[in-house]
Chains A and B, each alone.
Chain A
Amino acid sequence: MVRHSFDRELEQLQSLMVKMAGLVEESIENSILALKKQNVELARQVYENDDNIDELESRIEKVCINLIARQQPLAKDLRAISTALKIITDMERIADQAADIAELTIRMAEMKYIKPLIDIPIMADLAKKMVTKAIDSYINQDITLAREVCDGDDEVDDLFSKIVLELINIMKNNPETVEQATDFMFVVKYLERIGDHATNIAEWVVFNVTGSHDHMARKTD
């Protein structure tokens, strides 16, 4: 081993990635909890946490660009750095969508929900699990786990279609629900996107380990 300072910098990059991943997981967890419990305080916390995640994203970006400029990384080092650069974009988007859900939660806080939340929390849990698995697969470089993430995306997509149909029917039957039903429509769309970003992360983990980047999500819809 002859590149001590480079290895140290790569380790520092990795620990920043773990830190960002932790914050993103916390965001999505809290945004779902806040939605379920109509907890404005928690939703606000998610909203404010988003700035920290954005800052961390730019910090990681700088670290990666500096490493490329100064160390001319190749092979697995280059893959690790490009994977980090790609993944932080997905993590940042996941956090954004968690913040968007939090914002809708704040908006709906004073209203009684038009229906008991059953499928939405199930979908939210699935999306959250995808994110957790994607992040774990990144941290442990576990491509079996990464592939599981991609499989999970189908379930999330199916629930998305199911809930959208249900919301449309509620709106048809009672036009007064349109406003809130539309908000829920956004919530499920954000959850569906979170699943997609988790899939992206998992695909980059596979690239990082194997060197080939395949789109593994279902391509039928």
Chain B
Amino acid sequence: MTNDYRISTKNLNLFYGDLQALKNVSIDVPNNQVTALIGPSGCGKSTFLKTLNRMNDLIPNVTITGEVFFSGLNVYKEYDIVELRKNIGMVFQKPNPFPMTIYDNIAYGPKIHGIKSKSKLDDIVEKSLRDSALWEEVKDRLKQNALGLSGGQQQRLCIARVLAVEPEVVLMDEPTSALDPISTLKIEDLIEDLKKSYTIIIVTHNMQQAARISDITAFFLNGEIVEFGNTNQLFSTPRDKRTEDYITGRFG
């Protein structure tokens, strides 16, 4: 594995009981780029995303074979899960701020990871909120409850919360599907900015969103990767007929 691909999978298979949800998935995810995972419901794209930071560990009857590497180490064998999730953060479909102040939402992670200095925490909170393009909107109400923010602001807060622990990779599972178009575009802009410092993998049902924001796209179908490559190429001249049918809306 080279340094250009911090996340890689090799012959990854995942079963929910008898049902095989991922079949021999082998990809290298390039650093500091946005990789979009697309495909119809039930194709395995969210399942795949969750294997990367072991979110499937909590689901009963899940069997995983094959390998997931992060920075050259097998995430299922050679990583402490807390350390892994610090390095690979995740943003979910519905914004899920903690029921506490805006400030505490961001400071929570760094505190858990041992940062106690008030001034250092202040710095982290400000930097994370600036990086998630939320600072200007909330700087005068950091001590107010985060649940009072709008949906789009809450989602950017959740992104700030991830950034506060300085991960290398940010996983996003349909991060804008519960947001209005303006908030969606704000998040998309933010993703564009974030890729300078982070590697981003995003699951999206919105094909136009994948086309707009990603550098690389993976098309999943029935647990397999049908096509994986440059977004421009995949959306203009897909190599596989199944990709063509899916992205042009002639599926099934």
Closest A residue to B207 by CB, please name it. A74
Q: In whole angstroms, how far apart are the Cα atoms of A76 and B251 in the complex?
A: 14
Most buried by A among B211, B249, B252: B249
Instruction: Please tell me which one of the listed residues A2, A72, A73, A79 contacts residue B251 in the complex, with CB atoms under 8 A apart.
Output: A2
Chain A residues whose CB sits within 8 angstroms of the CB of B237 once the complex forms? 75, 79, 211-212
Chain B residues whose CB sits within 8 angstroms of the CB of A78 once the complex forms? 235-236
Instruction: Please tell me which one of the listed residues B235, B243, B249 contacts residue A3 in the complex, with CB atoms under 8 A apart.
Output: B249
Q: In whole angstroms, how far apart are the Cα atoms of A89 and B251 in the complex?
A: 33
**B236 touching A75, Cβ below 8 Å:** yes
**A3 touching B250, Cβ below 8 Å:** yes
Q: In whole angstroms, how far apart are the Cα atoms of A1 and B249 in the complex?
A: 8
Q: In whole angstroms, how far apart are the Cα atoms of A76 and B241 in the complex?
A: 11
Closest B residue to A78 by CB, please name it. B236
For the complex, is A6 an interface residue (Cβ under 8 Å from B)?
Answer: yes
For the complex, is A77 an interface residue (Cβ under 8 Å from B)?
Answer: yes
Q: In whole angstroms, how far apart are the Cα atoms of A76 and B250 in the complex?
A: 11
For the complex, is B188 an interface residue (Cβ under 8 Å from A)?
Answer: no
| CB of A7 to closest CB in B, whole Å | 8
Closest B residue to A210 by CB, please name it. B237
Task: Say whether, besides A74-B207, A75-B238, A2 and B247 are in contact (CB < 8 Å).
Answer: no
Closest B residue to A1 by CB, please name it. B250
Instruction: Please tell me which one of the listed residues A3, A6, A76 contacts residue B244 in the complex, with CB atoms under 8 A apart.
Output: A76
Mark interface residues in A60-98 (1 if CB within 8 Å of B CB, else 0).
000000000000111111110000000000000000000
| CB of A84 to closest CB in B, whole Å | 16
Contacts of B208-252 to chain A: CB distance below 8 A: 208, 211, 235-238, 243-244, 247-252
Chain A residues whose CB sits within 8 angstroms of the CB of B208 once the complex forms? 72
Prevailing SS type, chain A contact patch: loop
Task: Say whether, besides A211-B236, A211-B237, A75 and B251 are in contact (CB < 8 Å).
Answer: no
**A74 touching B250, Cβ below 8 Å:** no
Q: In whole angstroms, how far apart are the Cα atoms of A16 and B207 in the complex?
A: 29
**A2 touching B235, Cβ below 8 Å:** no
Task: Say whether, besides A78-B236, A79-B236, A211-B236, A73 and B250 are in contact (CB < 8 Å).
Answer: no
Q: In whole angstroms, how far apart are the Cα atoms of A72 and B237 in the complex?
A: 15
**B207 touching A2, Cβ below 8 Å:** no
Mark interface residues in A35-79 (1 if CB within 8 Å of B CB, else 0).
000000000000000000000000000000000000011111111
**A2 touching B236, Cβ below 8 Å:** no
**B247 touching A75, Cβ below 8 Å:** yes
Chain A residues whose CB sits within 8 angstroms of the CB of B248 once the complex forms? 3, 73-77
Chain B residues whose CB sits within 8 angstroms of the CB of A2 once the complex forms? 249-252
| CB of B239 to closest CB in A, whole Å | 9
**A75 touching B252, Cβ below 8 Å:** no
Q: In whole angstroms, how far apart are the Cα atoms of A6 and B249 in the complex?
A: 10
Chain A residues whose CB sits within 8 angstroms of the CB of B252 once the complex forms? 2
Q: In whole angstroms, how far apart are the Cα atoms of A3 and B238 in the complex?
A: 19
Q: In whole angstroms, how far apart are the Cα atoms of A77 and B246 in the complex?
A: 12
Q: In whole angstroms, how far apart are the Cα atoms of A211 and B235 in the complex?
A: 11
Chain A residues whose CB sits within 8 angstroms of the CB of B207 once the complex forms? 72, 74
Q: In whole angstroms, how far apart are the Cα atoms of A41 and B208 in the complex?
A: 53
Task: Say whether, besides A211-B236, A211-B237, A75 and B249 are in contact (CB < 8 Å).
Answer: no
| CB of B27 to closest CB in A, whole Å | 21
List residues of chain B with CB under 8 Å of any chain A CB: 207-208, 211, 235-238, 243-244, 247-252
Q: List 15 A-B contacts (CB under 8 A).
A: A2-B250, A3-B248, A3-B250, A74-B211, A74-B235, A74-B236, A75-B236, A75-B237, A75-B238, A75-B243, A75-B248, A76-B248, A78-B236, A79-B236, A79-B237
Assuming A2-B252, A74-B211, A75-B238, what are 15 further A-B pairs, CB within 8 angstroms? A2-B249, A2-B250, A3-B249, A3-B250, A72-B207, A73-B248, A74-B207, A75-B235, A75-B236, A75-B243, A75-B244, A76-B248, A77-B248, A211-B236, A212-B237
- 10 A-B pairs with the lowest CB-CB distances in the bound complex, closest first: A211-B237, A74-B247, A3-B249, A74-B235, A75-B244, A75-B248, A77-B248, A75-B238, A72-B208, A74-B248
